[in-house]
Structure 1
């Protein structure tokens, strides 16, 4: 099939996280290739509606009743998909999203289904018992199951019985394009110290308290900058005060989209300190790599994080939850100029080889066009 009509199905709009961003980027990238590709999702706020994107794409935003267990409850999605599903050759479902799975189950859709397995359900273990029959149906119904890394596909207990129909499609992003003037201003603001940058929601699985603690083992030549908002901000600020790290660790809050590339450009090393498998991939790693920044990340069991950051190539991976190892890895990269250049070059090369948005779109289109 040369140009199938595709629907990206699942999650929220406006974009709130990595899963939604992947669905949105696929819609945009495919439509720019003249492939008709819509995105149907639940409205995170407001009454929803149809949002035209370009001549080949639109966002079908379905009104939600409320949010429960990280899922927007949207009966409108069920009704809308049932009415329109027959117009699509491929429905690309983004998991985990029980609402999308239920809508597909009740739609009576007969076409091709691609299931994008972004992660196992980690937080809602109790509710998973009730969702599991629908999840099992979704795994059986899918013609193809897409994972974001070989490590996650191999390590997911939910995918063991369906490995024969899994394929790896790494997430890709547009390269970050820092503004040189803004980069210089950021570096000057911190006295041209060595900048360790991290970014993400301030929630437990991101492991930011370990990154804060790692600053104790770095000398005053370093400053740790953490971008993002979330419920742990107050406790992290107290930890910074208790450890006497004022001026050495700074919580930046939410960074505006137009400013973010320049923080990647200004930093010397990017650090992903996550400690749980909830962190399945770590898109922020590839954003940093696109700027040629070495990465320090963690070896989370059965997660794709340490596959994204190739140890000894694009950076170093350490034991989750170990501040001393985080600090030691940062110093190992920074204190040897030749090693730094090698990691920086490796990071940019790994991004160009595996994680560009262009590559993701091209490989996804091949999956859509493949016929058994």
Structure 2
């Protein structure tokens, strides 16, 4: 008889987000060996049950958000019911999600369900939440049978994971090779981008326009470069308008907005350098960084103490890493790569090999199985 796993994620596919994608990867990696269900918030006010990849997903309606934390009236009852009726042998909880953690701790208090705490990142930005949930974090880590971290760097850099190092297992995030396939149409789009910017060093940056992504530092670095550079910044977010205003007099920078996956692949394929200017541990890993490396693109990153970014992309191996928020050093790194094609090619080749060896879905599947569920 198959063991049962209940996965608890903040949201779940088709909701788009890094944690949500990893939760789905986790479910799919284990679907042949375990009976599974998922409980998450619905991106709306109604409770909904549906199926994703053949797995039932219980979605609890969300009536409000406070400091990016979703709140639900029905969650407590629905979590209790699924644990009572499904009777999971294992619960995998994707952290952070403090509202839900409160209910999980109550549900797991007096039973022997194995508890796997999937620690995606520390709460860094929300200072009030960080202080308020200290006691909760201690209880979660104490109750956990195993703690999954996405990189050894994060274990070493997290005050929380440092306290339970003996429980920690590293399972790096992954990219899906099938999703990374390049079609003739994408090749044609990439060729058009290169032709339109002939003679220029093409740089691409991807991500939500929020503070920790560090786009403001890329814009400031651009001001130190000459017109031989062309920088495309993809995505949208709460800082989009202020970033556009900051870059208003810089013709080197183009904001693409939110674009289709096919177009995004074309931009990355066309670029010479991938810019990844994230500045805090909110960037715990960098899946977009690994995707660019898969396409053989050298990257420029900031050093982020305790983040997996500098584990994914190795300094002077697959890219260049510079002092955090140091705009002039970031510009120097871009200029160095622009002027040294052979170095770009070497770093690109090394980066692709690093992804092939460590960050594909097949390695993820093997690693998740080694957690000893």
Give the TM-score normalised by the residue count of structure 1: 0.92
Which residue number in structure 2 is paired with residue 338 of structure 1?
342
Question: What is the RMSD computed on CA atoms of the aligned residues?
Answer: 1.9
1:1-372 matches, cutoff 5 A = 4-13=3-12, 14-31=14-31, 33=32, 35-55=34-54, 57-85=55-83, 86-108=86-108, 110-175=112-177, 176-178=180-182, 179-191=186-198, 193-241=200-248, 244-246=249-251, 248-369=252-373
1:113, CA displacement in angstroms? 1.0
1:214, CA displacement in angstroms? 1.3
Q: Rate the CA distance shift 1:336–1:138 in 2: closer, same or farther, 3 A.
A: same
| CA contact 2:297–2:344 (8 Å) conserved in 1 | no
Moved more, 115-124 or 44-53: 44-53
SS at match of 1:279: coil
Q: 2 CA distance for matches of 1:4 and 1:327?
A: 53
Q: 2 CA distance for matches of 1:24 and 1:104?
A: 20
| CA contact 2:44–2:63 (8 Å) conserved in 1 | no
| CA contact 1:90–1:368 (8 Å) conserved in 2 | no
1:192, CA displacement in angstroms? 5.8
Query: What whole-Å deviation, never above 9, does each CA across 1:4-60 have from its counterpart, x for those lacking one?
Result: 3222212124424211221122223333x45433321111224141111234x2222
Q: 2 CA distance for matches of 1:274 and 1:205?
A: 6
Give the TM-score normalised by the residue count of structure 2: 0.91
Query: What whole-Å deviation, never above 9, does each CA across 1:109-145 have from its counterpart, x for those lacking one?
Result: 5311111111111122223333222221110111001
Q: 1 CA distance for matches of 2:344 and 2:67?
A: 43
Structure 1 unpaired stretches of 5+: none
| CA contact 1:44–1:72 (8 Å) conserved in 2 | no
| CA contact 1:145–1:166 (8 Å) conserved in 2 | yes
| CA contact 1:93–1:100 (8 Å) conserved in 2 | no
1:210, CA displacement in angstroms? 1.1
Count of paired positions? 363
SS at match of 1:172: coil
Q: Rate the CA distance shift 1:252–1:111 in 2: closer, same or farther, 3 A.
A: same
Q: 1 CA distance for matches of 2:348 and 2:2?
A: 38
1:3, CA displacement in angstroms? 5.3
| CA contact 1:78–1:106 (8 Å) conserved in 2 | no
| CA contact 1:114–1:145 (8 Å) conserved in 2 | yes
Q: 2 CA distance for matches of 1:177 and 1:259?
A: 13
Structure 1 stretches of 4+ with a deviation exceeding 6 A read none
SS at match of 2:21: helix
Structure 2 unpaired stretches of 5+: none
1:163, CA displacement in angstroms? 1.1
| CA contact 2:10–2:40 (8 Å) conserved in 1 | yes
